Amino acid sequence: MKHLLLAASCAWLLAAEAAAAPLVSGTVTARNGAALSDVTVQVELRTARTSTPTDAQGAFRFDAATLFPAADLRDASALMLKFSKPGYQPANKLLRLAPGQALAAVTIQLDAAGGSTALDAAERQTLDKFAPAPGSTPLYLIPYALTGVTAPEPKSVNDALRANLERVIVTHVQASTVGGSPSLSLKLLPVEGGRDVDRARAYGTYLNALGVITGYGAVESGARGARSLVVSSTFLVVPQAESVGAPVLYVDDDMPADSLASPRLYKHLSKLWGRSTVLALGISEFGKAKAAGDKAALARIRKYLQAERAAAGPGDEALVSQLNALVEAVDKELAK
């Protein structure tokens, strides 16, 4: 009987201890309410700290009891949560601990850093309509500044370019070894942009985009009198990775001016579009895998980056250099 009582007391004490163990959870969103994935959430108690990335819904979860020594946890009066993501201002949240009391879920909104803080209310309102759905990987196109385009009108040309660019990008990524079927899309933003790269990055950061495409074009006459639309594009990769940063890639396209409304415009578009997107996906997934210490994911990323590098051709030197830097960073992480 004594043994039974002792065992029951021990079980009760253990249960009480488990119930008191704080479970830290919450979600991180941008100011516009869009869920922010890949935010590094660090939980800190004295000198001990550990981190995890947010998932596609911006959610995170820690079981503090498995992370910190029980004695430290009992003695602690608070935990500090630190949120960081490239392109956003970091935020901290102090969580008060009360013995035996469950912690309320934390909701944090991150402000975009740098240029996007200069976005005015009207711009934010416009961009909010294009906020990505949870789990989607959006790319955005800021309408090209086109000169010499009269028929069809520039708006129709931008619509046709968007549809054809999306097709080129999605087809390339599906045919690549990226795997995991990322839900890619290219949305046309109804904003002015053209050549303002800083502004374009600010929009991309605000929208938590994978990349932003912008540029300008002009109709030119060739040697034999054939007219073509020459477009110079800037592909801004929005996620950042250590040693690679957030690359800016340039893509030039040359399309016959008399078939700008053609649904087969994609045949004239550069292969760099797809390759640049794979690089952007690599950077985005690398950050996630690194934070989670997911070696399998790192190996998969390395594999598709190497395949992309091997398929690169003349004129892809800038992209290859970025791919090399990223593969090197992945290798370094795999070697740890």
Partner 1 sequence: MEEATDPLKLIDLPSQMLDKVVEVLAKVGIDLPALVLQLFLLALVLLALAVALRGLFPDWRNAKALPLLSAGAIALIAIGILFGIGSQLMLPDRVVGRVSGQGLNQPRVELLDFRGQVVSTSGSVDTQTGEFIAYYSPAWNGRARTLRISATGCKPRDNVISRSRLGTETTWDFACEKL
* 232 touching partner 1, by CB under 8 A: no
Q: Which is nearer to partner 1, 149 or 202 (CB)?
A: 202
* 46 touching partner 1, by CB under 8 A: yes
**Looking at 44-52, 162-170, 214-222, 314-322, which segment touches partner 1 (CB under 8 A)?**
44-52
CA distance 238 to 132: 14
- Smallest separation, CB 47 to partner 1 (Å): 5
- Smallest separation, CB 80 to partner 1 (Å): 5
Q: Which is nearer to partner 1, 112 or 200 (CB)?
A: 112
* 71 touching partner 1, by CB under 8 A: no
Q: Which is nearer to partner 1, 44 or 159 (CB)?
A: 44
* 118 touching partner 1, by CB under 8 A: no
**Looking at 2-10, 72-80, 135-143, 295-303, which segment touches partner 1 (CB under 8 A)?**
72-80
- Smallest separation, CB 44 to partner 1 (Å): 6
* 105 touching partner 1, by CB under 8 A: no
Of 240, 314, 253, the C-alpha closest to 279 is 240
**Looking at 11-19, 90-98, 189-197, 314-322, which segment touches partner 1 (CB under 8 A)?**
90-98
* Residues near 101 by beta carbon (within 8 Å), at least 6 away in sequence: none
Instruction: State how far Cα 131 lies from the chain centre.
Output: 13
* 44 touching partner 1, by CB under 8 A: yes
Residue 195 contacts residue 300 (beta carbons within 8 Å): no
Q: How far apart are the first and last CA of the chain?
A: 53
Instruction: Determine the residue type at 160.
Output: A
Count Cβ neighbours within 10 Å for each residue of 219-258 and write b for 16 or more, e otherwise: beeeeeeeebbbbebbbbbbbebeebebbebebebebebe
- Smallest separation, CB 53 to partner 1 (Å): 19
- Smallest separation, CB 114 to partner 1 (Å): 13
* Residues near 31 by beta carbon (within 8 Å), at least 6 away in sequence: 109, 110, 111, 112, 124, 206
**Looking at 8-16, 41-49, 261-269, 282-290, which segment touches partner 1 (CB under 8 A)?**
41-49
* 74 touching partner 1, by CB under 8 A: no
- Smallest separation, CB 138 to partner 1 (Å): 27
Residue 140 contacts residue 165 (beta carbons within 8 Å): no
Q: Which of 89, 185, 259, 324 binds partner 1 (CB under 8 A)?
A: 89
Q: Determine the angle formed by the axes of helices 197-206 and 121-128, rounding to 10 degrees.
A: 60
* Residues near 33 by beta carbon (within 8 Å), at least 6 away in sequence: 128, 131
Residues that bind partner 1 (CB under 8 A): 44, 46-47, 77-78, 80, 82, 89-94
